[in-house]
Structure formats: structure tokens, C-alpha cells
Structure 1
Amino acid sequence: MAPLGSAYGERAGNVVVGVSDSLAGLAALRRGVREARATGRTLVAVRAWEPPEGEALYARRPETSWARLWADEARRCLERAFDLALGGPPADLRIVRRVIRGRAGPVLCSVAASADDLLVIGMARRRGPLARLRPRPVHRFVPARAACEVLIVAGPRLLPQEARMLRRGAGAAVPARTGSGRSR
């Protein structure tokens, strides 16, 4: 447990959230906001990014204009996540936004370096017959190496046709569910 930071029951430390615009990342952001409100902590929203081809290949032919472009896209993704998850940044919280170049696991662990922090990450539900073969490096790395409490938030359960529609961008056309769990 984290020590109390004031007479009003506020806790010391921050609520650090790994932000992405995936459904699991948006669920983590909503939960992080809820935890920050409940404890009076500062919400630190972190978006880690790397060059698409990886740092090793980027180091061979560095191009600063491309790096600025990717960093700007990471900033837009961070703002878009607040819009998608909450309709915009909450006005009642202290929010620090950080866009950091690096792998997500080490970046999140370095930002949430105090034992008083709470680190919130989202975890998408695995689907399909080969789901176990796909790596989940952030979800293995963070709980094993974090210096603070880690809260892993599962993404929402979707019917297969709902997931397909969301991937295609037709989220408004999701069929209604009946009592039996089947779509009409």
C-alpha cells in the first residue's frame, strides 16, 4: 500500500497509464482515470513509440524528419485516446502527457519508478487458434520488472462479427444482441 500524501486521503505517487488507441488501451485509460480520481493522484499518460522498422534498422539510416513525423503521430494517438475513451481529457484531474521513444515495457517501468506509483496497462483478449503463439512482450515484461503495483485491464469481450466490424471501421453498425447472446 502506498502511504497517504495528505490529510485528505490523497496518496503519494502517480497513476501511470500505458496509452494506445486499441480497445484494451482505452479501457486501461478509463480505469487509470478512475484510480486517479479515487486516490487524488496525478494521471501520467504515457505513449511509447519506436520507428516502424525498429531502432536497429533506423540506426543504419537515421532520418530526423521521419522521426519527428512518428513522434507527432504518437502525440496525436495520445490525444485521440483521450477523445475516444473519455470524450476529451477530464478537467478535474492533474494530467501529465508523455510521449517517449522506446519499447513500451521499459518506458512504462522507467516512468513508474516509484514504489508509490500505480502502473495501469491494457491487455487485449487473445483470439483464434494461433493466439498463444503471438507474443505479449509488454504483459510479460511489465509485471516482472515494475517497481510498483501493476494493474492489468482486460479489453472488452466482443462477438466475432463485432470485432470484424470494428476492424473495418463500421463500429456504428454493430448488431444488437438478444437475450440468447446471438445477433439478430
Structure 2
Amino acid sequence: MSGDDACGPGRVMVGVSGSLGSVTALCRAAAEARRRGAALWPVLAWEPPGGELAARRSAATFLLVDEWERLARQRLCEVLAEVFGDAGPGVPVHGLVVRGNPGRALVELAVRDDDVLVVGTGRRGWHRVFSGRVAGYCVRHARCCVLAVPPSPLEGVLAAAHRRNSWHLPLDSKQLS
């Protein structure tokens, strides 16, 4: 895809995986697209289980590629439906499913000067932006503006509740408010 085949006054591209962090980034990206009058481009990048190297080693991989891509497309549609429902985000949406490393795929797609790339920073906050994860890769390599969205405060509360539950510790409902 070249940078010239987008429509409208700009694109707001956002990495979507279905994680709470990516949903937070998707909501922020939709708000940014509405503010700019731009199109929203949610992108779900996928890799074969075990990565590309493992996929090249297996002779049966080519039989599963179509199924993996179908599942990725289905996941993107589910996330968009869960977040926006029937009303939609209020801007044109161009969902993309691409095979490849998420950080690299996002950077390769967001090539126009008027693009904005929105990524979630993960559940551990801003210091993770500069790690080797997707957000860090995008911040270091993107040719357009990158908006790194911190996690929702709810994510920390949910993670703490999950830890307590998995360790079989009593949960005080006052901690959830």
C-alpha cells in the first residue's frame, strides 16, 4: 500500500489486537479521527503461531494461513462491533488485517505526512513506550506523528483483581470502586 491511496483529509491509524490497551487506543483514535475529520484505520497485524521462522520450517503452514487470516479478520470485526456497536465511530472506517510483526506493519502503513499513528502503551505505563514492544517500535521508527495512549486506570484495577483471584486471596469489593 502506498501513502497515496488513502481517502479524505488524513488517516488515523491504530493498532488493534483486542487487548484492553488496544481498545483504549482504538477509542482514543476514533476521537482523534472525529476531531481531525479523518478516516479511522484500525489495523490488526498477525503472525503465525511461533512466528514466521517456525512457519517457514513447517510444510503444513501454507494449509493454515487462510484460516489464521480469517480468524484475524473475524477478531478485528468483533472488536470493532464491541467498541462501536451499530452506531459506528462517526467517521469512515477502513479496517485492515495484515500478516507481519505489528510494530513493523503499523510503521509501514502510516507513511503519509498527515497520518497519525495511535498505539496503546501496555499495562505497565509510559516506561514501556521505549521498550522493544509495539509502541516503542512505532515511536522510534514512524515517519508520522505517533500518539502513545497510556492504559486505562481500569486496567490496573482489573489486573490487581485478577492477581488476587489467581492467588486465591480474598477480594475486598471496596478496592474495586
Q: Which TM-score band applies after superposition, normalised by the shorter structure?
A: 0.7 to 0.9
**Residue of structure 1 aligned with 2:46, choices 49, 54, 57:** 49
Query: What are the equivalent positions in structure 2 for 1:137-156 lying under 5 Å apart?
Result: 137-156=133-152
Match in the other structure for 1:114: 112
CA RMSD of aligned residues (A): 2.8
Which runs of structure 2 are paired with 1:23-172 in the superposition (5 Å)?
A: 23-62=20-59, 63-88=61-86, 90=88, 92-126=90-124, 136-157=132-153, 158-159=156-157, 160-164=159-163
Q: 1:40 to 1:175 in 2, by over 3 A?
A: farther
> CA 1:66/1:89 → structure 2, altered by over 3 Å: closer, same or farther?
farther
Preserved contact between residue 19 and residue 29 of structure 1 (Cα < 8 Å): yes
> Sequence identity of aligned pairs in percent?
32
- 1:163, CA displacement in angstroms? 3.9
Structure 1 residue 87, shift from structure 2 partner? 2.7
Structure 1 gap ranges (5+):
1-10, 168-173
Aligned length: 159
Report if aligned partners of 1:14, 1:44 keep a CA contact under 8 Å in 2: yes
Give distance in 2, aligned partners of 1:95 and 1:162: 34
TM-score where L is the length of structure 2: 0.78
Question: Structure 1: how far apart are the matches of 2:165 and 2:17?
Answer: 16
Displacement of 1:88: 4.7
1:22 is aligned, of 9, 19, 38, to 19
